[in-house]
Amino acid sequence: MPQRDRPEPDPANALAPATLAITTGRPPREPDQPLNTPLTPASVFVAGGSREYGRYANPTWEAFEETLGALEGGRCLAYASGLAAVSSVLDLVAEGETVVAPRHAYLGTLHQLGELERRGRVQVRQVDIADTDAVLAALDGTALLWVESPTNPALEVADVSVLAAAAHDAGASVVCDNTFATPLRQRPLDLGADVVVHSATKYLSGHADAVLGAVVTRDEQTWRALEEKRRTLGAIPGVLECWLATRGLRTLALRVDRAEANARTLVERLDAHAACSRVRYPGFGGVVAVELVGGEIAADLLCRTTTLWTHATSLGGVESTLERRRRWSGEPPTIPADLVRLSVGCEDVDDLWRDLAAALDPAG
């Protein structure tokens, strides 16, 4: 199978992320070319080129991969979902090796690690990823450090550069799930991580209309191993999803800036609200978590009462959503039962606040 050779990013020529998100992954600037890479549904390509078959390559995938790769500063592979990306990366860990992972992380990632451990494939050491000393103490004899930062839904922040340096000293590779931060707020490869994973379902697509995942790495060997695995195991992305996500990436900077500005305003107001016992915010991004004086019942009531905010799982869309995370039975018991995760969208912040405040009053 021929490999497509893509140039390494040139730091001397680096454009700002907001520019890269818009300018990368376009057709050549030639007369009659469309500005946007078109949707190309194709299971077969004429023989003799670099694509051949729809499980190996697709130009619509490549537009997304080139854009996200530029944003993260590495080479990207798109996957059927964030969890397909997670499982593909975990599959690189050799039999019997040890993985250090956050005790709070995306539920599906925790589930996969638990499943691999139950089958005797790997050993898992769970840590509080924000407790740098605890993570360092767990690294001895580890093959992989899995970082998620900020974590879902506790919003703990890891010191990725310190952890990555220590993990490398201990002989471990470092993966960082960058879904919550997006490459606009954190570039894990620059901080020393070997691999970045994304649920592109969230901020990268940004409109709650696509399920998609991605991996980005600078390590050619890792990229080749993952590309071969994707081709042979078949966890390939959908063409429509890549097209939607590329379109989503064009407005990523606008959406993240707006969601973050909204989140900052709401955090201030929530902090001052008598119904909230704790407000968690990592200091950037659009995800906030609140715990309520009225406990679990108040949390459920809040989710049922808002009219502008939708009670729904997932996050990272232009539309604001909220959810009590412990409604999922797999969520660890160390996540407070009354924790409500808010995914702050791009609506007018005063409208968002009015709706939240009206729903919090009875909940308080």
Ligand X SMILES: *Cc1c(COP(=O)(O)O)cnc(C)c1O
Residues 134-173 that bind ligand X (CB under 6 A): 148, 152
CA neighbours within 13 Å on the CB side: how many for 67? 33
Per CB under 6 A, does 83 bind ligand X? yes
Q: How far apart are CA 165 and CA 173, in angstroms?
A: 10
- For residue 318, the minimal CB distance to ligand X (Å) is 17
Q: Which stretch binds ligand X (CB under 6 A): 168-176, 199-207, 266-274, 299-307?
A: 199-207
For ligand X, which is the closer residue by CB, 17 or 317? 317
Report if residue 81 touches ligand X, rule: CB under 6 A.
Answer: yes
User: What is the C-alpha separation between 125 and 180, in angstroms, rounded?
Assistant: 23
Q: Which segment (101-109, 117-125, 220-228, 353-361) binds ligand X by CB under 6 A?
A: 101-109
Enumerate residues 106-125 that contact ligand X by CB under 6 A: 106, 108-109
Q: Which of 69, 82, 206, 286 binds ligand X (CB under 6 A)?
A: 82
203 binding ligand X? (CB under 6 A): no
CB of 10 to ligand X, least distance (A): 30
What dihedral do alpha carbons 61, 63, 69, 74 form, nearest 10°?
A: 80
Point out which span in 41-49, 70-78, 80-88, 338-346 binds ligand X (CB under 6 A): 80-88
Residues β-bridged to residue 148 = 177
> Residue 278's beta-bridge partner residues?
291
Nearer to ligand X, 197 or 359 (CB): 197
Q: Which residues contact 11 (CB under 8 A, 6 or more apart)?
A: none
Are the C-beta atoms of residues 202 and 287 closer than 8 Å to each other?
no
- Residue 237, preceding bond cis, omega within 30 degrees? no
Report 332-361 residues binding ligand X (CB under 6 A). none
Q: How far is the CB of 271 from ligand X (least distance, A)?
A: 24
Please name the residues in contact with 166: beta carbons below 8 A apart, sequence gap of 6 or more.
135, 136, 139
Residue 112 gets which letter from DSSP?
Answer: H
Residue 98 touches ligand X, criterion: CB under 6 A: no
Question: Which stretch, 21-29, 59-67, 78-86, 303-311, contacts ligand X (CB under 6 A)?
Answer: 78-86
Q: Rounded to whole angstroms, how far apart are CA atoms 331 and 105? A: 9
For 316-334, letters b (16+ CB in 10 Å) and e give bbbebbbbbbbeeeebeee
Does 202 bind ligand X (CB under 6 A)? Our answer is yes
Cβ neighbour number for residue 125 with a 10 Å cutoff: 17
Residue 198 or 258 with smaller CB distance to ligand X = 198
DSSP per position, 62-92: HHHHHHHHHHHTSEEEEESSHHHHHHHHHTT
**Which one of residues 136, 181, 211, 275 is an interface residue with ligand X (CB under 6 A)?**
211
Nearer to ligand X, 273 or 325 (CB): 325
Does 331 sit near ligand X (CB under 6 A)? no
Does the protein bind ligand X through residue 230 (CB under 6 A)? no
User: Given the rule CB under 6 A, which residues bind ligand X?
Assistant: 81-83, 86, 106, 108-109, 148, 152, 177, 179-180, 199, 201-202, 211, 213
